[in-house]
Amino acid sequence: MKFSLSWLKYFLQTDASLEQIAGKLNAIGLEVDGIENPAEKLAGFRVARVLTAARHPDADKLQVLTVDTGDGAPLQVVCGAPNARAGLVSVLGLPGAVVPANGMALKKAAVRGVESNGMMCSTRELELGDDHDGIIELPQDAPVGTAFSDYHGADPVLDVAITPNRPDCMGVYGIARDLAAAGLGTLKPFTVPPVAGAFPCPVEIRTDDAEGCPAFYGRVIKGVTNGASPEWMQARLKAAGQRPISALVDITNYVMLAFGRPAHAYDLARLNGAVVARRAKDGEEVVALNEKTYVLDSAMTVIADDSGVHDIAGIMGGAHSGCSESTTDVLLEIAYFDPERIAATGRKLNLTSDARGRFERGVDPAFLDVGLDILTDLILRICGGEASEVVRAGAAPTTPNIIHFDPALTQALGGVAVSPNEQQRILEALGFSPVITQDGWAISVPGWRPDVGGAPDIVEEVVRIHGIDRIASVPLPRADGVALPTATPAQKLERRLRRAAAARGANEAVTWSFLPVAEAEVFALPDQPLWILANPISEDMKAMRPSLLPGLLSAARRNLDRGAASLRLFEIGRRYLRAADGSSDERLSLAVVLAGDKAPRGWATGKAAPFDAFDAKAEALALLAEAGAPVDKLQVMGEAGPQFHPGQSATLRLGPKTVLARFGMVHPATARRFDIDGPVAMVELFLDAIPGRKGAATFARTHYAPPALQAVKRDFAFLVPLEVPAGDLVRLVQGADKANIVAARLFDDFRGQGVPEGQKSLALEVTLQPLEKSYKDEDLKAVTEKVKAAAAKLGAVLRG
């Protein structure tokens, strides 16, 4: 909700600064989203008088002015405005000022060879109006040399976020009440004497829907002149983001914004017969003020006459009966509508409005007569006319809500000691009526606070006004001894993997669990349909993610578009699949996306090096090892998925069916779908597929005992068919003699001269670890024979 500082001070007597007011609003739970201070935009603009005006020597449409800025020495300014003349008092932008309309910074410059020390300004350039035909003309008595922001009266505007449980603060008066209760001033009394009717109301007013509209009040005002509203009212409405329309419309909007009380004015000439609050008929239509046609049903409340519907009750008026410049007689309506009915109607019609936002939160049912008096008084003073007697149909639910309260509860629940006298002062300042008896307090809740329903709500009111910052930070009690661990194995795994991924230089991302359907379909499993939400947060985010990779790819694109040169992103989270019975199946995954440059260009490296599939494989193996997977037993197999490049991707499996991870380069079609240029590598670990460690509950790490004898390394070079994966050879060699071979590593892959066609040369470094005694030649020969026999299973032969 937006409102100007001067509007707030119309209801609140205070000397507090803008910063103090904003700070106090935040402290009492009314969060300030922003502050617009027009004085900042008008900095550098000054009231100035034109002393002389002469024709520019080289331009027929320009004039050379000498301008008095109040500093003594006149300034020379070149101006093209047709109304620039000697004696004119206007606004001068000095060098260094920034023109609000276009952001141009003013400076001394030569215009057609003549020096100009600033710019004379129009209302459009200062965003004070639409006039651009000439420069601003101020009264002759305007103080020359004064900052234009001071002369114009630039009024700061506060934008406050009102939570749904605070309908009382949907009006400026309610916000002023809260500030006064918090000690930031005094709430000014606001009373309007009732306006006596000069004649009986000529229109029958009634409510035929006591559930949806318990109370419907109205009166006729004849002989009004519906011109423009006063400047002070227009200024307040503009500050609140409302466009001034006409006096009658502006008055109803003003009362709604000032007191949180919507009302409506009908052109009496456009009504036919009795005006009734009733249920709509199924299929009945109305053209609302937004010029859209809405089809109604019998669950909705409307305001209608004998001709049809004129108002979607509590939400938006109809275009047919609205006031115009020719309106002379009006029917003024103010009513109380059921909040739940208003909310349900607004959702069904997908129609939002300022009135709906207030009615569905709950307005003060006791404000009907007062609101009608305020509206009538403003109309008579601004538009003239004569008012009829008031017609009251039905009655609003005004039974007071009485809460029994013990002041000691404030310290028990709120954690802060507030004296009973101070609690009483706070509650009375907020409009509550506490009655102190021997049995405790009986507090009457004001009608504008439907959110207060019990003693804890009273405690909340006292504590937020007294000061939440006054609550002392007290640690929770802790039992003696060592606390038992509470983290589950899955939580420990997530923590360990987060640290490992971050230690490898990746940045953690947290993306939405919801995706656009088109992006989710790219990563959907062929045999499992997407999980589509029936009531999503938005139509563009209604598919639950089947993989973490789409969110990371979108994050990578946003960062690359903003100039990021190298990206290493990871995320741990749930992916959502459909189970066989149709229910949601959540599975824990870890995804990594590598994009941009792996290493920047340099004198030693030359061009920048991009990420490749082997980088993705390295990430997958390192993180799987950290997760406790038996990486030395994993098989590298294809079929990573259609999202990956078929020749530059693979899966890591424990056996032919258990897939622990997939990695590789993004398929070009997938990259285009996510609007990414350049190579991107990605990894997805299926953490739920990693087998648990046997005896994990009693597992204890053994003490480190290095072997007594030095390891022995032997190199083997094999001729292997081209189609044989190097990893398969490494795995067979390492398992050839488990008692002696502790490691095997590929260090060379050669294809070329000296290697038969259709084969490749793979060189392995095999590490042998003697245990009780050093190896003899026959021991090494025996190991060699076992290595050769194991390699022969793949058709590999030792090179000569």
- Looking at the chain, the number of H-run helices and the number of E-run strands are 20, 41
Predicted local distance difference test score (pLDDT) of residue 603: 85
Give me 498's structure tokens. 């987060």
Beta bridge mates, 278: 302
Predicted local distance difference test score (pLDDT) of residue 65: 95
Query: Are 23 and 46 a contacting pair, CB within 8 Å?
Result: no
Please say if the pLDDT value at position 698 is more than 50: no
Domain interval for residue 54: 40-152
Distance, in Å, from the CA atom of 252 to the CA atom of 39, rounded to the nearest integer, reads 29
For the segment 683-690, the average pLDDT, to the nearest whole number, is 94
Q: Classify residue 180: in a domain, yes or no.
A: yes
Q: Assess whether 142 and 284 both reside in one domain.
A: no
Provide the annotated binding site for Mg(2+).
451, 457, 460-461
Provide the annotated binding site.
451, 457, 460-461
Nearest CA among 341, 388, 338, 392 for reference residue 368: 392
Q: Assess whether 52 and 141 both reside in one domain.
A: yes
Predicted local distance difference test score (pLDDT) of residue 585: 82
Q: Classify residue 703: in a domain, yes or no.
A: no
Give me 391's structure tokens. 């017609």
pLDDT tens figures, 590-603: 999 999 999 888 88
Q: Which runs of E-coded beta strand occur in 296-359? A: 301-305, 308-312, 316-317, 330-336
Predicted local distance difference test score (pLDDT) of residue 23: 95
pLDDT tens figures, 627-661: 999 988 888 888 899 999 998 999 999 988 899 99
Distance, in Å, from the CA atom of 794 to the CA atom of 783, rounded to the nearest integer, reads 18
Q: Assess whether 367 and 413 both reside in one domain.
A: no
Nearest CA among 621, 614, 620 for reference residue 648: 614
Q: Classify residue 706: in a domain, yes or no.
A: no
Q: How far is CA 415 from the centre of its chain?
A: 32
pLDDT tens figures, 441-462: 999 999 999 999 999 999 999 9
Q: Assess whether 269 and 350 both reside in one domain.
A: yes
Predicted local distance difference test score (pLDDT) of residue 700: 58
Q: Classify residue 373: in a domain, yes or no.
A: yes
Pick from 369, 394, 419: which residue ends a domain? 394
For the segment 486-514, the average pLDDT, to the nearest whole number, is 93
* Structure-model confidence comparison of residues 53 and 700, the more confident one: 53
Q: Assess whether 547 and 635 both reside in one domain.
A: yes
For the segment 250-256, the average pLDDT, to the nearest whole number, is 96
Q: Assess whether 66 and 78 both reside in one domain.
A: yes
pTM of whole model > 0.75?
A: no
Q: Assess whether 379 and 244 both reside in one domain.
A: yes
Distance, in Å, from the CA atom of 490 to the CA atom of 492, rounded to the nearest integer, reads 5
Distance, in Å, from the CA atom of 644 to the CA atom of 635, rounded to the nearest integer, reads 18
Distance, in Å, from the CA atom of 670 to the CA atom of 552, rounded to the nearest integer, reads 13
pLDDT band at 693 (very low <50, low <70, confident <90, very high): low
Please say if the pLDDT value at position 251 is more than 50: yes
Give me 105's structure tokens. 């910074």
Q: Classify residue 480: in a domain, yes or no.
A: no
pLDDT tens figures, 196-235: 999 999 999 999 999 999 999 999 999 999 999 998 999 8
Predicted local distance difference test score (pLDDT) of residue 701: 64
Nearest CA among 633, 632, 650 for reference residue 641: 650
pLDDT tens figures, 699-724: 556 777 888 899 999 999 999 999 89
Predicted local distance difference test score (pLDDT) of residue 694: 63
Predicted local distance difference test score (pLDDT) of residue 294: 94
Predicted local distance difference test score (pLDDT) of residue 695: 54
Q: Assess whether 415 and 390 both reside in one domain.
A: no
pLDDT tens figures, 1-20: 999 999 999 999 999 999 99
Q: Assess whether 288 and 405 both reside in one domain.
A: no
Query: Are 533 and 544 a contacting pair, CB within 8 Å?
Result: yes
Most confident of 98-102, 222-226, 692-696, 752-756: 222-226
Predicted local distance difference test score (pLDDT) of residue 759: 93
Q: Assess whether 448 and 427 both reside in one domain.
A: yes
Q: Classify residue 780: in a domain, yes or no.
A: yes
Q: In what order do the strands lie in the sheet with 741-750?
A: 741-750, 759-768, 712-721, 797-798
- Residue 93, domain CATH: 2.40.50.140
Distance, in Å, from the CA atom of 595 to the CA atom of 567, rounded to the nearest integer, reads 5
Q: Assess whether 597 and 655 both reside in one domain.
A: yes
Pick from 378, 394, 410: which residue ends a domain? 394
Q: What DSSP character marks residue 199? A: S
Beta bridge mates, 569: 507, 593
CB atoms within 10 A of CB 114: 16
- Residue 242, domain CATH: 3.50.40.10
Predicted local distance difference test score (pLDDT) of residue 40: 83
Distance, in Å, from the CA atom of 472 to the CA atom of 461, rounded to the nearest integer, reads 18
For residue 428, what are the contacts with CB-CB under 8 A and spacing of at least 6?
A: 434
Predicted local distance difference test score (pLDDT) of residue 345: 94
Q: Assess whether 104 and 251 both reside in one domain.
A: no
pLDDT tens figures, 377-420: 999 999 999 999 999 999 999 888 999 999 999 999 999 999 99
Predicted local distance difference test score (pLDDT) of residue 375: 96
- Residue 725, domain CATH: 3.30.70.380
Give me 663's structure tokens. 């990695």
pLDDT tens figures, 311-367: 999 999 988 888 989 999 999 999 999 999 999 999 999 999 999 999 999 999 999
Report the number of distinct structural domains present in the chain.
Answer: 6
Q: Classify residue 605: in a domain, yes or no.
A: yes
- Mean pLDDT, the chain, rounded, equals 92
- Residue 543, domain CATH: 3.30.930.10
If phi over 0 gives left and psi between -120 and 50 gives alpha, with beta otherwise, what is residue 118? left
* Torsion (CA) 119, 125, 127, 133 in degrees, nearest 10: 120
Q: Which runs of E-coded beta strand occur in 524-638? A: 543-544, 566-578, 584-599, 609-610, 635-637
Pick from 376, 394, 412: which residue ends a domain? 394
Q: Classify residue 588: in a domain, yes or no.
A: yes
- Residue 463, domain CATH: 3.30.56.10
